[in-house]
Chain A
Amino acid sequence: MEEILHKTAEHHRDYTGAKMGMWLFLFTEMLLFGGMFILYSVYRFEFIAEFHAAAKELDTTIGAVNTLILLTSSLTMALSIAALQKGNKNLSLFFQVVTMLLGIAFLGNKYLEWGTKIHHGIYPNSEYLLSLGKGQVMFYGLYFVMTGLHALHVLIGIVIFVFIFFFTLSGDVTSDNTVKLENSGLYWHLVDMIWVYLFPLFYLIT
């Protein structure tokens, strides 16, 4: 950062500045989840065997499918930016919609998965869960809070895309002003990236 940037706030857009702001925000998101990962690591260290047993009860298939969904949505997200940069607005809009739909599919899956667990009497503070022992209580506590917090972020991402979709439609986001789309993309990728860690840490404990 040795170069001196001759920038002023004179009403022209600062592309790098906007990106910088977004990345700083992403750092806060990383550390928000970081706090949960600290909890996770301590309790996993404390209850190695119990975590193993509890993780067996999670459906790896649903987890894997959801991983695929999010990875694919990251791809379509990136493609929608590339399409817009190449000037193909309609293709970009198409990919944005696909990204949104994949996000919704992810949440649908999550809903089914949570629903099954709750149906079996496994939810925070349930009598059945408490009877399973401390390690299980911690595992499912972490599971519900961490995937819940993550799902909340997916939901926020979908809402953001609704706005971006209309921004693109109305010409607020254009091929030479993609920074809003790019920043929403960054957010979406980060949410994906967090899932990349959540998946093995909850579904693949051996």
Chain B
Amino acid sequence: MPDGREKKETDRGFWKYEGGKTGLLSWIFTTDHKRIGILYLSSLAVFFVAGVTFGLLMRLELIAPGRTIMSASAYNSIFTLHGVIMIFLFIIPGIPVSLGNFLLPLQIGARDVAFPRLNLLSWWLYIAGGCIALLSLFTGTGPPDTGWTFYAPYSIKTGTNVSLAVFAAFVLGFSSILTGMNFITTVHRLRAPGMTWFRLPLFVWSLYATAWVQVLATPILAITLLLIIIERFFGVGFFDPAKGGDPILYQHLFWIYSHPAVYIMIVPAMGVVTEIIPVFARRTVFGYKAIAFSSIGIGAVGFFVWGHHMFTSGISDTSKVIFSLLTFLVAIPSAIKVFNWVASLYKGSIKVDTPLLFVIAFIFLFCIGGLTGLINGTLATNIHIHDTHFIVAHFHYVMFGGTAFAFFAGLHYWFPKIFGRMYSEARAKLAWFFLFIGFNVLYFPMFLVGWQGMPRRYYDYLPVFHTPNIISTIGSWILAAGLAMMLVNLIRSIKKGEQTGSNPWKGTTLEWTVPSPPPVENFEEIPTVTHGPYKYDEN
């Protein structure tokens, strides 16, 4: 980053401008999309650390068969909490609300999102949802023990505090819907002059596709969760066979949302990856339109594969075959993206900095996660591995190895833009190394024990699975060490990092044309766009 070294006394941009309020109030009542992005980023970090802690506790329990550090019911609560926090509070909002909020207006040449106040409201709802979720732990009849899926009829019959936890997820869904509405309208209404649809950075395309999924899928979750609460209070019986109900319908409704939600999680991550590759390969991205449309394609087909979560529930064979087929189809747009990324790197002048390292880790881990997804989606093998650790390994490879690694990549990539300072590259690389090794040591053994038949969601297992579980738990410690190193490096660099210029990576998208950190209204003058986002041909 030769030009990043120029010692320029940058003013602190949006960090300084408090908008007539002071201190904390200037943050929690801000309508500046950048400040809201920072609010989200810090709250996400808190919940993420909580989720990781629960995950570490689970792994510690599983270091030996039988009771190790907690009772069976405590383990049930812990895996529910781990799931609820990681899914609803970290990975679903994740990239869109933090990096997306910060960068979407910058990348399309706008001064803010379309509805700044709704943006703030969505953060408040997010915090409210988080607090209600926490409240469900300490009040009533004990923390929920249903798993994050809240499957009926158990979620209706269990004595634990399910209603409150479900209500928390309902509120969080509302927050997610508001973000989606906001982003769609922003992309339609606030693009700078000359910013045509096919000049949009591909991160924006991915956010746009995600926003549609958020708007169209989340309401189904809302009604499903409401029904649980209604069932618990009034006993209507929709999911109770004794009263004529059908518990499988609960699963249908739940996955009509929750499978598309998987794409709410992964599509923005793919957008981040697409954004980083051209910058570090110094080449324009290969197959711009293919990547843009594959985001839409994944979003669209992803709506109709939900049945693959229910292959062993007793749904009809006809629907199983169709859901399985569609599951295979959704692999096509995903693979298009992977091929395009690799093709974009081909013959580039690659610079292996931390963001690209995370991106490469993403591609590797996502491929493992994605391809094992096809194994899960095959009807016959699914029966063998359903509800085993194979599934656990699969979705952690996709969600953690995929989304979270892309999130980390984006954090490192946009860190100098957000904070105006650079982290220590050496420490970041070391942290990456620990994360990558720890991740694989933690999750790969789960494929093996899962294949051999170790079920998920039990605090105990047969002694024959002991060795891989020890390895896995050790992996969790390596991973945690890597996370700690990364977070310490980043947090430390907010204050102590070297100051950078506006464009340390020599990126060509619009956010790099404004100072780092960006000023309050982003652009002194709204730019007129005359070319596509990745213009590296002259290099």
Contact = CB atoms under 8 A, between A and B. Distances in A.
Direct contact of A and B (CB under 8 A): yes
Contacts, number: 133
A135 interface: yes
6 closest Cβ pairs, A-B complex = A134-B244, A35-B223, A125-B235, A31-B219, A141-B236, A32-B219
Contacts of B224: 35
B244 A135 contact: yes
A50 to B, nearest CB: 9
B427 to A, nearest CB: 38
A10 B111 contact: yes
A43 interface: yes
A25 interface: yes
Nearest to A3: B196
Given A8-B526, A27-B215, A42-B249, A17 B114 contact: yes
B121 to A, nearest CB: 12
A32 B244 contact: no
Q: Is the interface of A mostly helix, strand, loop or mixed?
A: helix
Interface string A21-51: 1001101111111111011001100110000
B53 to A, nearest CB: 34
A138 B244 contact: yes
A145 B237 contact: no
Interface string B204-219: 0000000000011111
Contact of B238 (A1, A4, A21, A138): A138
A33 B222 CA distance: 10
Interface string A103-137: 00000000000000000000011000010011101
A144 interface: yes
Given A10-B111, A17-B114, A38-B253, A28 B191 contact: no
A1 B236 CA distance: 46
A16 interface: yes
Given A24-B215, A31-B219, 20 more contacts: A7-B189, A9-B105, A9-B113, A9-B190, A21-B185, A25-B177, A28-B222, A33-B223, A34-B220, A35-B223, A35-B253, A39-B238, A39-B249, A39-B253, A46-B246, A125-B235, A125-B237, A134-B243, A138-B243, A141-B236
Contacts of B347: none
Contacts of A43: 244, 246
A1 B287 CA distance: 22
Contacts of A16: 189
A14 interface: yes
A28 to B, nearest CB: 4
B252 interface: yes
Interface of B: 105, 110-116, 118, 177, 180-182, 184-185, 188-197, 215-220, 222-224, 226-227, 230, 234-238, 243-246, 249, 252-253, 256, 526
Contact of B189 (A5, A46, A125, A149): A5
Contact of B111 (A9, A24, A25, A138): A9
B222 A32 contact: yes
Contacts of B244: 43, 46-47, 133-135, 137-138
Contacts of A6: 193
Contact of B216 (A10, A31, A38, A124): A31
A125 B191 CA distance: 54
A35 B184 contact: no
B236 A124 contact: yes
A106 B357 CA distance: 62
Given A8-B110, A38-B253, A138 B237 contact: yes
Contacts of A8: 110-111, 190, 192, 526
Given A135-B244, A145-B230, A5 B191 contact: yes
A20 interface: yes
A121 B92 CA distance: 44
B110 A9 contact: yes
B194 A36 contact: no
Contacts of B114: 9, 14, 17, 20-21
